[in-house]
Amino acid sequence: MPTLSRQHIGAALLIGLALFAIAGPLVAARAPFEQNLYGILQGPSLAEPLGTDHLGRSMVARLASASRLSLGLALLSVVTAAVPGTLLGLLAAWRGGWTARAVGAVADTVLALPGLLLVLLLGAFAPGAFWPLYVGLSLVLWVEYFRITRATASVVLASDHVEAARMLGFGSFYVLRHHVLPELLPMLGTLASFGAGAAVLALAAMGFVGLGAQPPSAELGLMMTELLPYAAEAPWVIASPIVLLTLATLALVLLHGASLRRHSV
């Protein structure tokens, strides 16, 4: 399949998930937390296109709420990790010396802990709160942006065409805009899509083990844990969050693979 087609498929999946997250409450008959104990584990119908869970709550409404949470937190984590990581990488490559060594030591300290373990440790301090998850994901993700930016910018800044640009009197902003950023942007896009996918999976994993969102919040991993005992009785209910998580990860992987192949070519 051509690279462009893969990227289009990934973008279409992401747009579809975003539209579902926004329009889901309009389709659902009830709010995501509203229970109906007389209508538990109902199959898909016109009133409830994805049925109801073990407490009679609308699966459409809960999945839409979970999509907003997962995609929103992943996007926020990626943005707040990419900005400082990229800026620190550029600073380390530009200044070198003790500046590069100091920032590199901080990055190495963060890398000494496994990423998911760091997120779990922060999440354990405040179960059910979202700020530890956000902080933990950002702390894990910024290191990759820093390392890629520092390595790429160091090579570009030491190249002959950058030296020629400086000898001709072009300033730092010109060098950054015309020489460094064109080399960085494809790789940063790849890291962003990969990091967003990792954030979605990490959030679901923490919800699954009980250290992420807490009931009655709607979150994909938490929904899987709650609905797992009813898998034999109502398999479509447990399948819904699994399919949604798979589609979100697949969309980001397709974007990641397309960016990587285009850059490697």
* Residue pLDDT tens, the chain, 265 long: 444 577 888 888 889 998 998 887 777 767 888 888 888 888 888 888 888 898 889 899 899 988 988 888 888 888 888 999 999 998 888 887 888 888 888 888 887 777 667 777 776 776 666 777 777 778 888 888 999 998 888 888 777 777 777 777 777 777 777 778 888 888 888 888 888 888 888 888 877 777 777 777 888 888 898 888 998 888 989 999 999 999 988 888 887 654 444 444 4
Residue 128 is predicted with a pLDDT of: 65
At 157, list the tokens: 């800044």
At 260, list the tokens: 């990587």
Indicate the class that CATH gives domain 3-264: mainly alpha
Residue 63 is predicted with a pLDDT of: 92
Q: Are 218 and 203 in contact (CB under 8 A)?
A: no
Non-local CB neighbours of 256 within 8 Å, separated by 6+ positions: 190, 193, 194, 197
Name the residue type at position 205. Answer: A
Q: Are 156 and 165 in contact (CB under 8 A)?
A: no
Residue carrying the six token digits 């498929």: 9
Residue 258 is predicted with a pLDDT of: 47
User: With the CA atoms of 205, 210, 216 and 217 taken in that order, what torsion angle do they form, in degrees rounded to the nearest 10?
Assistant: -30
Counting beta carbons within 10 angstroms of the beta carbon of residue 239, is it exposed (0 to 12), middle (13 to 18) or buried (19 or more)? Answer: middle
Give the bridge partners for 58, in sequence order. 52
Sorted by where each begins, the domain ranges of the chain are: 3-264
Q: Maximum Cα–Cα distance for the chain, whole Å?
A: 78
Is residue 130 classed as helix, strand or coil in its secondary structure? coil
Residue 203 is predicted with a pLDDT of: 82
